[in-house]
Amino acid sequence: MTDPRPISALTIAGSDPGGGAGIQADLKTFAAHRVHGLSAIAALTAQNTRGVSAIHVPSTAFLRAQIDACFDDFRIGAVKLGMLANAEVIHAVADALEFHRPPRIVLDPVMVATSGALLLEPDALDAMIGRLLPLATIITPNIPEAEVLLGHVIADGAAADTALDGLLALGTNAVLLKGGHLLADNSVTDYYADRDVRTAFTHDRLNLHAHGTGCTLAAAITANSCLGRTLLKACEAAIEYVHGALVHAYHPGGSDVAVLDHFWPSHAVPND
């Protein structure tokens, strides 16, 4: 019997009261793709476009209750993981995902905010590598995050391409390595690899300092997965969506940090 419920996307991440990143950015991204969005809040932050001033981590029992409530009622097609502040939270999320077994898990290994604030406690790195990476369908690190995961510097495009092998060796099924921190020219290249395919996506570099880009990209991959796209096509569509959101970014706060326009014209999101 066909399940009449639409496929939903679940984000397990931190909350951003400024509305530019985290849970708020994820839900806007899901809505922009016309995918029903669910959320389990793993951390509460006090932040805006100027920076992060405080972090509060709810109990893991309450986090697990949120996750279970979502799986108990909704048809979840993919899960996006964002800010998971400490090892205890990571283990709780891994336990829940091992129990519920969603079809796809998109892991954005959030470690440092755009402002430079540390969002992952040092003892959590081993837990992330040991518990979450083997569960992930795809991970979406930026260059500094990949350097932390691998323990060495990634200095240029050739090193980024080589790093894909090391990241896959950590246990994930696929990697989208975001190359925005490599400042070789006026373009940005993101590097994709899974067990069978290796490719790259290149865009013109935009002259702005943006907030929530990584959250939005991972959420867009999650939403496109719920729409039935292959993993590679989901990444391609997500990159195009984020580029458009950056082109239309605006400044709701008093700093020079731009916030993505998650609801830029929907016809620009590729259709297969």
Does residue 254 belong to any structural domain of this protein? yes
CA distance 271 to 45: 35
Hunting for tokens 């979450």 — which residue is that?
132
Please give the C-alpha separations between residue 169 and each of 71, 157, 261, in angstroms, as whole numbers.
30, 19, 35
Does residue 159 belong to any structural domain of this protein? yes
Does residue 210 belong to any structural domain of this protein? yes
Kindly tell me if the per-residue pLDDT of 21 is higher than 90: yes
- The H or E element that residue 194 is part of is strand 187-194
| Under 8 Å between Cβ of 28 and 40 | no
Phi and psi based region of residue 167 (left: phi greater than 0; alpha: psi -120 to 50; beta: remaining)? alpha
Does residue 1 belong to any structural domain of this protein? no
19-33 average pLDDT score:
97
- Mean pLDDT for the chain? 92
CA distance 254 to 263: 21
Does residue 249 belong to any structural domain of this protein? yes
Does residue 188 belong to any structural domain of this protein? yes
What domain count does the chain have? Answer: 1
pLDDT digits (tens, 9 = 90+) for 135-170: 999 999 999 999 989 999 999 989 999 999 999 999
CA 188-194-196 angle, to 5 degrees, is 120
CATH classification at residue 143: 3.40.1190.20
78-103 average pLDDT score:
96
Phi, psi of 71, deg, nearest 5 = -70, -30
pLDDT at 114: 59
**What's the pLDDT band for 85 if we cut at 50, 70, 90?**
confident
Structural domain range at position 261: 7-268
Does residue 2 belong to any structural domain of this protein? no
247-265 average pLDDT score:
93
Does residue 243 belong to any structural domain of this protein? yes
Phi, psi of 16, deg, nearest 5 = -120, 105
